[in-house]
């Protein structure tokens, strides 16, 4: 298969030197890309800013903002059999980016925020006969929220994990399908979890409900 994988965080700039982001290390997405290559798949890796070496043999596209990630994914998705959306993209960005650097004024400032592009939802709309495997990081009502995300974004499966995964070396995940069933689960170092997920995906991707 040829697999599109997203990884890492995105950044949304307040001015030319400050930005909003999150603590995603990119380890899960990079581990998935490496495992997919080891399993013989072709990989297009679209990565936000991380401190990791690119997995050997991947076609890597490096981006910073959510809009850049969306554009890179949309432009390459037609080449692929499916996507694993492991990136932790910013959900909001400042309405206006200030040129230069915001100076101190001695008082508070107010930021007006708007939603960013929904990368996963866009790929779900475009998927056609391709499969879509999303990630959901949930802290409360985890399964309910993950299923809502799966259905709203037209995924075939969603991988549920928790806040403890951010920046960590290990992860514990459950894979949910469109019926709401937990079809499999894995725990351990992210490299091992990635290997299990890619093996499971290889057995199940061609049976996805592509309605």
Query: Which positions are annotated as active-site residues?
Result: 22
Q: Which residues pair with 136 in a beta bridge?
A: 160
Best CA proximity match to 94, nearest among 197, 205, 161, 13:
13
> Read out DSSP for 48-104?
-S-SSPPPTT-EEEE--SHHHHHHHHHHHHTTSSEEEE--B--SEEESSPPSS-PPP
> Read out DSSP for 108-135?
-----EEE---HHHHHHHH-TTSEEEEE
In Å, how far are 58, 97, 117 from 17, measured between CA atoms?
30, 11, 22
**Rounded distance between C-alpha atoms, residue 60 and residue 201, angstroms:** 21
| Radius of gyration from C-alpha coordinates of the chain | 17
**Rounded distance between C-alpha atoms, residue 76 and residue 67, angstroms:** 14
């Amino acid at each position: 298969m040829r697999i599109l994988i997203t990884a890492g965080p995105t950044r949304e700039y307040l001015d030319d030197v400050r930005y909003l982001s999150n603590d995603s290390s990119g380890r899960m997405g990079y581990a998935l890309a490496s495992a997919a290559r080891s399993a013989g798949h072709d990989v297009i890796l679209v990565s936000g800013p991380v401190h990791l070496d690119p997995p050997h043999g991947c076609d890597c596209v490096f981006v910073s903002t959510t809009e850049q990630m969306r554009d890179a994914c949309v432009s390459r998705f037609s080449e692929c059999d499916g996507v694993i959306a492991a990136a932790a993209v910013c959900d909001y960005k400042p309405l206006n980016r200030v040129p230069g650097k915001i100076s101190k004024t001695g008082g508070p400032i107010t930021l007006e925020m708007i939603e960013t592009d929904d990368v996963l939802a866009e790929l779900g709309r475009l998927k056609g006969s391709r499969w879509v495997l999303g990630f959901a990081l949930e802290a409360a009502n985890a399964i309910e929220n993950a299923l809502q995300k799966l259905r709203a974004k037209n995924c075939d499966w969603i991988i549920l994990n928790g806040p403890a995964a951010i920046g960590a070396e290990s992860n514990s995940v459950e894979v949910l399908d469109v019926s709401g069933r937990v079809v499999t689960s894995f725990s351990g170092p992210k490299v091992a979890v990635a290997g299990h997920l890619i093996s499971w995906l290889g057995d199940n991707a061609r049976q996805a409900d592509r309605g």
